[in-house]
Amino acid sequence: MLAASGRDLLTKTIRNDIPAIIITLATAGLLTIGGAVLGTVEQDWSMMTWPIMFKLVLAAVFLLSGYQFVVFAVRLADISYIAPFRYVGLLWATLLGMVIFAAYPGINVLVGGLIIVAAGLYSFHRERKKGLAPLAETGQPVASEGGGPIVKAEVQMLKDKK
């Protein structure tokens, strides 16, 4: 979740003229490199079977399309408005893991998921109680309109050089 949140915040700072597919492929590439590095820890490697290879390719297709839609969402709305939809992702990940991979979550996963959902629901309740609307409903400009703070600082630096 920390890496996904960081990716979303960084995506917000990228200019709109950079195609979403470039951001998606860069994210997937970094994830692949991270997986390769972490894979060196595994001592018991074995050859993948065709059914496992098929599941891996299918997972990659879904992952890339998911990244693509997240980039679109982050560019169109404020992150505080998008964050609650991550809870649906937790549910789907758990259900698909049980159905496709027969991987049932342990107690630590269930407790962690409940803490994340409870914190989000509390935050949502607190905002509604105070009468605060999510930024996506306030009409305030978002970072992707003209670039985020990094892009704006870069533009200012170029203006200062002239």
Q: Is residue 93 part of a domain?
A: yes
**pTM to 2 decimal places:** 0.58
Cα torsion angle, 111, 112, 114, 118, sign = positive
Q: Which of 2, 7, 12 is nearest to 146 (CA)?
A: 12
Chain mean position to CA 136: 18
Q: What is the pLDDT along the chain (162 residues), one digit of tens a residue?
A: 677 777 777 888 888 888 889 988 998 898 889 888 888 887 787 888 999 999 999 999 998 998 898 888 888 887 777 777 777 878 888 899 999 999 999 999 889 888 887 887 787 777 777 765 554 444 444 444 445 555 566 566 667 776
116 Cβ contact partners less than 8 Å away, ≥ 6 residues apart: 1, 87, 90
Q: Which two tokens stand for residue 24?
A: 């998606």
What does the DSSP assignment read for 79-130? HHHHTTHHHHHHHHHHHHHHHHH-----HHHHHHHHHHHHHHHHHHHHHHHH
Are residues 44 and 83 both part of a single domain? no
Do 97 and 37 lie in one domain? The reply is no
**148 within domain boundaries:** no
- Tell whether 113 and 87 lie within a shared domain: yes
Q: Is residue 152 part of a domain?
A: no
Asked if 67 and 87 sit in the same domain, the reply is: no
Domain extent at residue 114:
78-141
| 115 shares a domain with 91 | yes
Q: How many domains does the chain divide into?
A: 2
> Do 64 and 94 sit in the same domain of this protein?
no
Indicate if 32 and 66 belong to the same structural domain. Answer: yes
The answer to the question of residue 69 being in a domain is yes
Q: Are residues 84 and 135 in the same domain?
A: yes
pLDDT computed for residue 99 by the predictor: 95
